Amino acid sequence: MKTTRADVAPPDQPASYTWEATSEEVAERYGLPIESIVRFDLNTSPSPPALIQRLFALGRSDTPLSEYPPGDYGRLIAAAAGRYGVGTDELLVGAGADEILDIIAKTFLQVGGMAVVPTPTYAMYRVGTEQRGASVLAVPRLQDQDWTLDLGATREAARVADVVWLCSPNNPTAMPEPDGAIAGLLGGILADAAADGRQPPIVVVDEAYAEFTGTSLVGLRTVYPNLVVIRTASKAYALAGLRVGFAIARPDLIARMNPYRPPGSVSVVSVTLVTEALLDDTILEDNLARVALERDRLAAALCAVGWSVGPSVTNFLLVGVGSVEAAASVGEGLLARGLVPRTFPTGHPLVAYLRLTVRDPAENDRLIQAVGTIALEMHG
């Protein structure tokens, strides 16, 4: 039976994004020094690039701090266009990828609308959809195939949707979709829309972790006019605190989104520093090499205690610890040692898992030692 809009109603109260406890809360709860808390839950890098630290220390910014940033973010847009191989009229800047998600939702979702969200995935897709008074049509991913998209079910759901939210590599499952899968899905969605006599939904591909794979779907925008790709400086560039993200799409889609962009939401400091990062090849290369080395080492250590570590091309690992109870016990044990994992709530398909960020060698060593102790305690 085909899904219709009447089959899915928006909730009375929109979902909200749930964070783990703050470092201050963890320190107070367990009587630990605040400086001993390490965040393994945020998929961030342990330190910003040396070049950016030097520039920040010098207090350099293209615009005085007493002034607003340029309304067109011209230099930043030019640097991003060069980095991603697109035109400057195909880019929109936001305060992190999350503001880009919000702009997309405001542009393409209305009260009573519908968005497809393959699950599990990044929680903000649901949050942004429901904040617009639209409904979420959740499509389960294929657990026995490394949580890849159920392409048939996703395509069918898209027939009644205004937006399709995709993430590749997917957070929190750490893997990209197989080669050609999303291109095939895009083609199918366009064909179905033409057959149904309706406008195709906007298909959003969140590529927050794309640099870790060395590949991107940005080039597909020339073939599929309904595609929006999201990129960010937060992950591979190790600049999450600067809050800079981008939407990449055909100029007509960017023009539709631009009225919903807040003026000056990206600070002059962020504009200056992210511009420099995008122009410097070594920043990306150094961080990618570090993550790859530490990811393999950390995964091996977690497997050695009998846990299930999924494949990953990103800067985080999805770790199965055996059961819902075990996940809760391990999570508590790590918190008590000042190590904050990403956990999943009751009812979530990953409630028996933890997501762990790959950090620097010393921090990863702390995690490995703690995991060894906790595993011994659990197995008595």
Provide the pLDDT for residue 14: 77
AA letter at 242: L
Tell me: pLDDT of 44 over 60: yes
3-state secondary structure of 274: helix
Token pair listed for 345: 């709530």
CA atoms of 361 and 290, how far apart (whole Å): 9
Pairing of strands 316-320, 308-309: antiparallel
Does 145 have pLDDT greater than 50?
Answer: yes
Amino acid 84: pLDDT: 98
Q: What is the pLDDT of residues 271-328, one digit of tens each?
A: 999 999 999 989 899 899 999 999 999 999 999 999 999 999 999 999 999 999 999 9
The domains located in the chain, with CATH, are 19-48+282-379 (3.90.1150.10), 50-279 (3.40.640.10)
Q: Does residue 243 have a pLDDT over 80?
A: yes
- pLDDT for position 4: 64
Is pLDDT at 235 greater than 90 in this prediction? yes
- Are the CB atoms for 248 and 221 separated by under 8 Å? yes
49 has a pLDDT exceeding 90? no
Can you give the pTM of this predicted structure? 0.95
Q: What share of the chain is helix, strand, coil (3-state, %, to 5)?
A: 45, 15, 40
Confidence of residue 2 (pLDDT cuts 50, 70, 90): low
Cα dist. 76→245, 271, 273, 374, 380 in Å? 11, 6, 9, 46, 56
pLDDT-based confidence at residue 181 (cuts at 50, 70, 90) = very high
pLDDT in tens, 94-136: 999 999 999 999 999 999 999 999 999 999 999 999 999 999 9
Q: Which residues pair with residue 246 across a beta bridge?
A: 93, 231
Q: Give the CA-trace dihedral at 240, 241, 242, 245, to 10 degrees.
A: 30
81: pLDDT strictly greater than 70? yes
Average pLDDT of the residues in 170-196? 98
The amino acid present at 19, given as its one-letter code, is W
C-alpha pair distances (Å), 187 with each of 202, 203, 271: 13, 11, 36
| Structure tokens, 66 | 């007493």
Phi, psi of 167 (to 5 degrees): -140, 120
- For residue 380, what pLDDT is reported? 63
Stated length of the chain: 380
Helices (H), the chain: 23-30, 50-58, 74-84, 96-108, 124-131, 151-158, 181-196, 251-257, 268-278, 281-304, 324-336, 361-379
227/274 Cα distance (integer angstroms)? 25
Round the average pLDDT of the chain to a whole number and report it: 94
Q: Which of 8-12, 99-103, 136-140 has the lowest mean pLDDT?
A: 8-12
Angle between helices 281-304 and 50-58 (to 10 degrees): 130
